Amino acid sequence: MKRRELLAGALGAAVLSAAGSATLRASTQAEPGPKKGRFKLKYAPSFGQFKNHAGNDLVAQIQFAADEGFGAMFDNGIMGRSVSDQELIARELAKRDMILGPFVLYADFKVKSFITRDKEARTMLVETMRQGVETSKRVNCRWALVVPGRYDESLAWEYQTANVIDNLKACMEVCEPAGLILVLEPLNPKDHPGLFLTRIPQAYEICRGVASPSCKILNDMYHQQISEGNLIPNIEMAWDELAAFHIGDNPGRKEPNTGEINYKNIFKYIYQKGYQGALCMEHGHSLEGKQGERAVIEAYRACDSF
């Protein structure tokens, strides 16, 4: 073989080799990393909880949560969103096989409402339920949160309890046929003094009195750690009336593993009970920015590794 031909052949081989290496590098760099698996339970970040990663766009936030393995979202204030945004959220969650946690339907901390026999108060409550049913249909969410309002120092506690039950029964006439489940949330008296509903056993008694599949309990574990502790035994005792959970560690109301609550054990217990609903991440971040958001996600990964 002539020297010129030999050099040409060698050069060609080198070019092909370099091209092949470049193609290999490009294909390796373009290949997406392995997707994170879904969490065992449906932990539900709120809209805006990962804004440093996902921005303000609703669809981008849902996609980011889905990519990180979350099976739910929650939005306390979804009733205040436009109809188009409500429908968008429902559509995008359905595309990704995600659910929406309970939205706030009624939570007026300043008013004595459910504890009274006032006819105008009952009319207002029933009308509020009708609005909740319409929102529930649009956002494809079966659960709506209710805080029964303030207690009355001048009225015997037993009368107030009976009045709450009667008012909820009136609400059930609207909610039950529509399949909307009201979840009653007890709140701790330290952060929210003056409210009627503070404990899980109290909520359980009310749900038993109402005796409807559309009247259940939301257990906010941050609040209940402050009000009564004994979290797992109370979950067990009230299990047949529980329909939703809120998450937040104590003290500080930040992500799991920043306080005293053993969320890994609690999540394991709830999972073994067969719970399929949302666990709303109603808490702040212990760190700021993207670092803080990543710390939240990793905290849930750690607690979900039971």
Rounded Cα distance, 265 and 287, in Å: 24
Rounded Cα distance, 82 and 89, in Å: 11
For residue 15, what are the contacts with CB-CB under 8 A and spacing of at least 6? none
Query: If you ran DSSP here, which 8-state letter would residue 260 be given?
Result: S
Asked which of 26-35, 133-142, 202-211 is least confident by mean pLDDT, the reply is 26-35
Q: What was the pLDDT predicted at 274?
A: 98
Q: Shortest CA distance to 255 belongs to which of 192, 297, 219?
A: 297
With tokens 């760099």, the residue in question is: 29
For residue 146, what are the contacts with CB-CB under 8 A and spacing of at least 6? 105, 106, 107, 182, 183, 184, 185
User: Over the stretch 52-79, which tens digit does the pLDDT of each residue have?
Assistant: 999 999 999 999 999 999 999 999 999 9
Asked which of 5-9, 132-136, 218-222 is least confident by mean pLDDT, the reply is 5-9
For the domain 39-303, what is the CATH code?
3.20.20.150
Q: What was the pLDDT predicted at 5?
A: 41
Tell me the torsion sign for CA atoms 216, 221, 223, 228.
positive
Query: If you ran DSSP here, which 8-state letter would residue 2 be given?
Result: -
Claim: this prediction has a pTM higher than 0.85? yes
Q: What percent of the chain has pLDDT over 70?
A: 88
